[in-house]
Structure 1
Amino acid sequence: MKPGTKCIHAGAEPDPSTGAIMTPIYQTSTFVQEAPGKNKGFEYARSQNPTRFALEEALAVIENGKYGLAFSSGVAATDAVIKLLQPGDEVIAANDMYGGTYRLFTKIFEKFGIRFHYVNMQEAENIQPYINKNTKLIWTETPTNPLINIVDIAAVAAITKANNILLCVDNTFASPYLQNPLDLGADIVMHSATKYLGGHSDVIQGALVMNDQALRDQLYFIQKSCGAVPGPMDCFLVLRGIKTLHIRMQRHCENGEKIAHFLRNHPKVGHVYWCGFNDHPGYAVAKKQMRGFGGMISFTLKDDSVETAMKLLSSTKVFALAESLGGVESLINHPATMTHASIPREERIKNGLSDSLIRLSVGIEDAEDLIDDLKSAIG
């Protein structure tokens, strides 16, 4: 099936008892058994739920994977991956990534004896010097949050395969419609399904997709044992969101391109971070591994004072000032004080994330209204 058809039909089977075309919300905590150990495949809703199973199948299909697992949040999905490791293991992570991932790594898992190295992965060979016998995982995301840097997944995968290291790719910014890391050699794909998969800013959820059954079984055991599972209503909402992923992403891409070019041509705008510009350092790789450039954009103003940025952030009418991204509505965000506040300022600055950087999640409204809104706010 083509991607659009996959989005609509993935995980969707008519309900056998009624013929309902939409997956029912199985709002139950437990399941009646005929005899001890004799059941219909479901025992307890933390371990198994039919609505969640349908979603997990859909996740696998749209990511061209064999197995999907749904979690209560993107951070919970990330947490499960790191729980594959043991004290003394080492992780090589991208130095430009979501602040919540950095917080989880530094504030939680470092206390348990796992060591993290933060590396600029825009050049895959930068990884090599950090690999040793304790290296068990490489964690990256592309495009990155919020600087829209591009990582060559196939190049990184070649390194991990040669060294028997797991590769996990956070695919949240691209979504499965624009990019499929498993096809490029990744072992695990992670999503904050809160974002583009849900698509309507009404659910918190995470997802993992993989091809290896042994890896799936390990992660399922963690999912079941640690209990960070989504409820059936949340699973239903993400299933519903996936059905329109392809048409939403097409509009996100169209609007993103228009907004990016508007900002680049604005006399008061400094630098615009968007991987669709042909002079973007990662443009060639993005064009190779993605089917579009998405609707995530960051920018600075020529007057790069924090005060000027704050004034702009509070002046938009269509763009809502809020955390998160990937919904149908456009959002504007200040990474230094919002999504990336947990990263120490010196680390942010070293990685290129200035105090005045502004991030946009371009929604699917009329592009002219979005441009007028930014034009008015920038002044």
Structure 2
Amino acid sequence: MPIYQSSTFVQPSATEFQEYDYTRSGNPTRSALEKLVAGMEGAHAAFAFTSGMAALSCMTRLVKAGDEIICNADIYGGMYRLLTKVATRQGITVKFVQIWNLEEVKKAMTSKTKIVHIESPSNPLMMVTDIRALSKIVHERGALLTVDNTILTPLLMKPLELGADVVVHSATKFFGGHADVMSGFVCCKTEELSKQIYFHQNAEGTGLAPFDCWLVLRGIKTMAVRIERGMSNTVEVAKFLAAQPIVKKAVRYDLQMSQSKGAGVLLSFETGNVELSQRIVSALKIFKITVSFGGCSSVVEMPSVLSHASIPKDEQAGIPCKPPSRSR
């Protein structure tokens, strides 16, 4: 696919317009990427954004002032910041619930609940939600189920087929795959949702630039190989950690394997001791300390002080899924 590095396009006449006129509204390179990702997720349409957070932000445009969003208690720190510091200023009520406990979801939902948002597996605790069962609960109450599928990608799980209405990705991770481009996707199940997301993408100018689209297209070519090899390496690391007496908590993937083709490339573990976890992370040689993942390198972090640091420590302590000794 060529890189259409153009901001504007020549029109055939003073009264005729072709498909593309201005790159904010559409670009052939971006269209090629969006069509490919829509096919991968089984979506009506997909939309490419300048980052995963831009994609998540656009997703929140599906609700209005007075509406309510229920979100996983264990969630990426950037999404927590978006919901608590931005969405609430727009008159949207936000609740954080341990969504993997479906009874908690039933109790939390009200007539104002319009979106239930999850990560599965969640970040960083890797808690798994039964998406099929959750979708029935959410839809019975007239709300939308949105799923952040960044960790597994459509190669391992397709949430739309499990009952989700919208799927979001931070494509900076596995889609890009080389830690050299930022991007995100919103994938919609229906035409009506697609129209709403496109309107806001165009109105707010958050569409991904042509060259960045090309970089993501390049990354997709090796995505399957990278994830396959990454999972095999992760299994070996998990076996090693499981045999260590200092590892206090591991995660079971029985439910995950019932709704996906694999458990993914990420894992997390607890030692129960913050200082011990810090020493382990700092002593690693092959694994480099970064706040992100999904590239070609082996990386590690302590989310409580890096990727999830935007969640205040007193609030982290109040959420069972935010142990400070957790490493990812």
TM-score w.r.t. the length of structure 2 is 0.96
Distance 1:328 1:33 in 2: 42
Distance 1:121 1:37 in 2: 53
- Deviation, structure 1 residue 309: 2.2
Q: Which residue among 226, 238, 243 is the counterpart of 1:248?
A: 226
Q: Which residue among 323, 345, 348 is the counterpart of 2:313?
A: 345
Q: Which residue among 47, 59, 62 is the counterpart of 1:81?
A: 59
| Helix, strand or coil at the partner of 1:148 | coil
Which residue of structure 2 lines up, in the alignment, with residue 306 of structure 1? Answer: 274
Q: Share of identical aligned residues, percent?
A: 40
Q: Deviations over 1:187-219 (max 9, x none)?
A: 000000001111111111010111211110111
Which residue of structure 2 lines up, in the alignment, with residue 368 of structure 1? Answer: none
Q: Which amino acid aligns with 1:110?
A: T
Which residue of structure 2 lines up, in the alignment, with residue 69 of structure 1? Answer: 47
Q: Which amino acid aligns with 1:295?
A: V
Q: Which residue among 217, 220, 245 is the counterpart of 1:267?
A: 245
Task: Give 5+ residue unaligned stretches, structure 2.
Answer: none
Q: Which amino acid aligns with 1:228?
A: T
Higher relative contact order (CA 8 A, sep 6+): 2
Which residue of structure 2 lines up, in the alignment, with residue 10 of structure 1? Answer: none
Task: Give 5+ residue unaligned stretches, structure 1.
Answer: 1-22, 274-279, 360-379
| Helix, strand or coil at the partner of 2:186 | strand
Distance 1:85 1:65 in 2: 20
* Structure 1 residues 214 and 298, CA gap change in structure 2 (3 angstroms): same
Distance 1:250 1:124 in 2: 31
Matched, 1:110 2:88: yes
| Helix, strand or coil at the partner of 2:269 | strand
Residue pair 2:131, 2:164 contacting (<8 A) in 1 also: yes
- The residue correspondences of 1:132-151 to structure 2 (distance < 5 A) are 132-151=110-129
- Deviation, structure 1 residue 37: 4.9
Which residue of structure 1 lines up, in the alignment, with residue 149 of structure 2? Answer: 171
Matched, 1:358 2:318: no
Q: Which residue among 123, 130, 140 is the counterpart of 1:162?
A: 140
Residue pair 2:24, 2:207 contacting (<8 A) in 1 also: yes
* Structure 1 residues 37 and 240, CA gap change in structure 2 (3 angstroms): farther
- Deviation, structure 1 residue 125: 2.6
- Deviation, structure 1 residue 135: 1.0
Q: Which residue among 182, 186, 211 is the counterpart of 1:208?
A: 186
Q: Which amino acid aligns with 1:346?
A: D
| Helix, strand or coil at the partner of 1:70 | strand
- Deviation, structure 1 residue 271: 2.2
| Helix, strand or coil at the partner of 1:327 | coil
Which residue of structure 2 lines up, in the alignment, with residue 257 of structure 1? Answer: 235
Matched, 1:56 2:34: yes
Root mean square deviation, CA, Å: 1.3
Distance 1:155 1:268 in 2: 35
- Deviation, structure 1 residue 268: 3.1
Distance 1:31 1:42 in 2: 6
